[in-house]
């Protein structure tokens, strides 16, 4: 990976998050009448322009942890410090935290203090919000630098996903996203990368028959051409399948970073997370220079971002 791709993916993620924060939970019908066109202030969470949310905070926790070594306890402690002490935040405030994430971090805090087992699996399908998908991007750099294939290291992906979202569907969504990111770094066209994703994920399911029941949830991405679906068929809630679908769809059906993130955000609902995921794909593919300067310039707490990105060469 070259520097333009790395910084493009990270800043693409953070900018997409910050763009979506002011309109989070807005309906598609409302945004169709007043579509988002750029960075705005206040809105849903009453935050200044360029403020990023828990999506970026938790992604930075993982990225910062990986700069030292891959350690589940350290990742957990950094996420807990975000929740309890407002570390890794844009403005010294935690203003948006999901129910599952909060409960999981409370459990992790107790587990670490009392030497209990870190969770790995859950059968609760309610644990399939997009809270692990939104922070898993840094594993792209870890796998790329170590020349490890994502699907061959699914247990590791699951371990990190399960810190907050323990259902296997969330882990498979993370795998899908990471494989697609990986292929986008290989100087392929978007359609070629998408074809590679479908082949690798279908091979994964064929080799892991114990996940057969989950395969149907990824059908529209892996066994059809998601770009052929119309907007009314694309959902944009915080459910992990909706997030991976709308992000891939928005990225594949546009031709620039700006158009990709604005398209997904104007679908409404979970605009910050879906903007972040789409932004990482578009920033990775088009590069850092494709992100409008007036969007990156206004990011809050930019010094924290720059410090962690600078330390990435340790991964």
Per-residue pLDDT in tens (0 to 9) along the chain, 315 residues: 888 899 999 999 999 999 999 999 999 999 999 999 999 999 999 999 999 999 999 999 999 999 998 999 999 999 999 999 999 999 999 998 999 999 999 999 999 999 988 878 788 898 899 999 999 999 999 999 888 899 999 999 999 999 999 999 999 999 999 999 999 999 999 999 999 999 999 999 999 999 999 999 999 999 999 999 999 999 999 999 999 999 999 999 999 999 999 999 999 999 999 999 999 999 999 999 999 999 999 999 999 999 999 998 767
> For residues 157 and 178, what is the distance between their CA atoms, to the nearest angstrom?
9
b/e code 217-256 from CB counts within 10 Å (16+ = b): bbebbbeeebeeeeeeebbbbbbbbbbbbbbbbbbbbbee
Task: Select from 1.10.4080.10, 3.40.50.2300, 1.10.1070.20, 3.40.50.360 the CATH code of 3-33+47-118+132-314.
Answer: 1.10.4080.10
C-alpha pair distances (Å), 167 with each of 17, 121, 148: 24, 6, 23
Question: Angle 20-310-63 (CA atoms, 0-180°, nearest 5)?
Answer: 55
pTM over 0.85: yes
**pLDDT on residue 148:** 86
Cβ pair 167, 124 in contact under 8 A: yes
Cβ pair 63, 308 in contact under 8 A: yes
> For residues 236 and 221, what is the distance between their CA atoms, to the nearest angstrom?
15
**pLDDT on residue 117:** 85
**pLDDT on residue 28:** 98
> For residues 194 and 281, what is the distance between their CA atoms, to the nearest angstrom?
12
C-alpha pair distances (Å), 103 with each of 88, 162, 244: 19, 12, 23
Tokens of 131: 């809270």
Minimal CA–CA distance to 266: which of 102, 94, 22?
22
> For residues 202 and 221, what is the distance between their CA atoms, to the nearest angstrom?
11
> For residues 99 and 104, what is the distance between their CA atoms, to the nearest angstrom?
9
Rg (alpha carbons) of the chain, rounded to whole number:
18
Tracing tokens 């993982």 back to the chain, one arrives at 62
DSSP 24: T
Cβ pair 11, 60 in contact under 8 A: no
Longest Cα–Cα distance of the chain, Å, equals: 53
DSSP-assigned letters across all residues of 70-129? --HHHHHHHHHHHHHH-TT-SSS------HHHHHHHHHHHHHHHTTPPPP--B--TT--B
Domain positions in the chain are: 3-33+47-118+132-314
H or E element, residue 40: none
**3-state DSSP assignment of residue 236:** coil
């Amino acid at each position: 990976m070259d520097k333009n791709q790395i910084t493009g993916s990270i800043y693409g993620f953070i900018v997409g998050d910050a763009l979506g924060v002011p309109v989070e939970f807005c309906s598609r019908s409302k945004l169709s009448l007043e579509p988002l066109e750029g960075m705005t202030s206040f809105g849903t969470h009453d935050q200044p322009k360029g403020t990023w949310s828990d999506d970026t905070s938790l992604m930075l926790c993982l990225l910062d942890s990986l700069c030292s070594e891959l350690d589940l306890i350290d990742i957990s402690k950094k996420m807990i410090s975000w929740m309890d002490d407002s570390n890794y935040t844009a403005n010294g405030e935690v203003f948006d935290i999901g129910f599952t994430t909060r409960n999981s971090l409370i459990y992790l805090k107790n587990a670490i203090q009392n030497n209990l087992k870190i969770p790995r699996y859950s059968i609760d399908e309610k644990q399939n919000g997009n809270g692990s998908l939104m922070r898993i991007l840094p594993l792209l750099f870890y796998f790329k630098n170590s020349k490890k294939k994502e699907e061959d290291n699914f247990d590791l992906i699951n371990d990190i996903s399960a810190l907050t979202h323990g259902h296997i569907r969330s882990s498979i969504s993370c795998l899908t996203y990471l494989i697609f990111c990986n292929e986008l770094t290989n100087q392929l066209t978007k359609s070629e990368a998408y074809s590679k994703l479908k082949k690798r994920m279908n091979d994964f399911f064929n080799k892991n028959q114990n996940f057969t029941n989950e395969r149907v949830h990824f059908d529209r991405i892996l066994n059809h051409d998601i770009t052929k679906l119309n907007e009314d068929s694309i959902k944009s809630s915080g459910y992990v399948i909706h997030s991976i679908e709308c992000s891939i769809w928005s990225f594949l059906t546009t031709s620039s970073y700006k158009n990709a993130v604005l398209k997904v955000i104007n679908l409404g609902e979970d605009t910050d997370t879906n903007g972040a995921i789409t932004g990482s794909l578009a920033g990775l593919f088009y590069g850092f220079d494709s992100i409008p300067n007036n969007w990156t310039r206004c990011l809050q707490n930019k010094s924290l971002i720059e410090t962690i990105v600078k330390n990435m060469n340790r991964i």
